[in-house]
Amino acid sequence: MGVILVTGGAGYIGSHACKALADAGHVPVTYDNLSTGWEDAVKFGPFEAGELSDRARLDAVLARHQPEAVMHFAALSDVGQSVREPGLYWRNNVAGSMTLLDAVTAAGTPRFVFSSTCATYGEQDGVTLDESCAQNPINAYGGSKRAVEDMLRDYARASGLAHVSFRYFNVAGADPERQVGEHHRPETHLIPVALDAVRGRRDKLTIFGTDYDTRDGTCVRDYVHVMDLVDAHIRGLDYLAKGGTDTVFNLGTGDGITEREEKETEAEVTDSAVPAVEGPRRPGDCTALVSGSRRAAELLGWVPERSTLPEMIGDAWGWHQTAGYTK
């Protein structure tokens, strides 16, 4: 058990990872610029404010804490924004990750866990996506993550950095103990947007696209509970410590859920109607993204135990009703 540097540790997934690391006996050190994260979410270890682009700051933080591994979550992740402003994503996600890798390899940090995405696969409808599927991203978000995966392999060949990459499908839910949860500025994720509509914090949920070739016309996504997701990251650290490296893992359940089905389940869990309207498709959205995660099961022993839609919505609903971030 040791120190883990968590970039983006004040964000949604990063803060849950910090909780899981602390519960496992590690010391998570959050490195975050708070542009999308929340200082209130840093509860489980030291906080270091900084930019990924600031090499001197990264060098100082790595020297001070001497982590045994880095978990790299810090990134911009709004698909629509990446279509409108691709340069922002290449500068932040790719150039920032390059600076981080320069600092990490110079410091001799031995292990690296990268937060990637199923958006690297692009549009492959009707296919359960596993790690062998071709990567053809259709937006700058997916493209930037694929580029970092490639860059990480090159750095590893040059330096011996042991690493794994996790390609997430749709992450949902919240810490069932309600210490941390999901809150973005602005909020774009389906479940918290629907919960905001139920609570009256926004007028309505917009269902983007009802003419997809799916069972009810709305796009299909594979949802995984955030606590299951971060459990995979703890297992990834153990995998690296035992000599594993250069492995990509999908993280999903293998079950696709439509936007309409999500809305109906949200109404059942909250016992409230979800005010909604139908809108056009968003640029950059795929019809269906469903995961094959056999590799994570076989190599990590990972099983998504909390990833039923009612449980994910229930945990998110509980956190949204009782907590929130202000700074």
**Cβ contacts of residue 130 below 8 Å, gap of 6+?**
250, 291, 292, 293, 294, 295
Task: Identify the sign of the CA torsion 183, 168, 190, 176.
Answer: negative
Q: How many CA atoms lie within 13 A of 254 on its CB side?
A: 10
Alpha-carbon dihedral 36, 40, 42, 44, rounded to 10 degrees:
-150
**R_g over Cα of the chain:** 19
Indicate if 155 belongs to the active site: no
Of 308, 306, 319, 307, the C-alpha closest to 199 is 319
Given the residues 31, 121, 141, 212, select the one marked as catalytic.
Answer: 141
Residue whose structure tokens are 């056999």: 294
Query: Which are the catalytic amino acids?
Result: 141
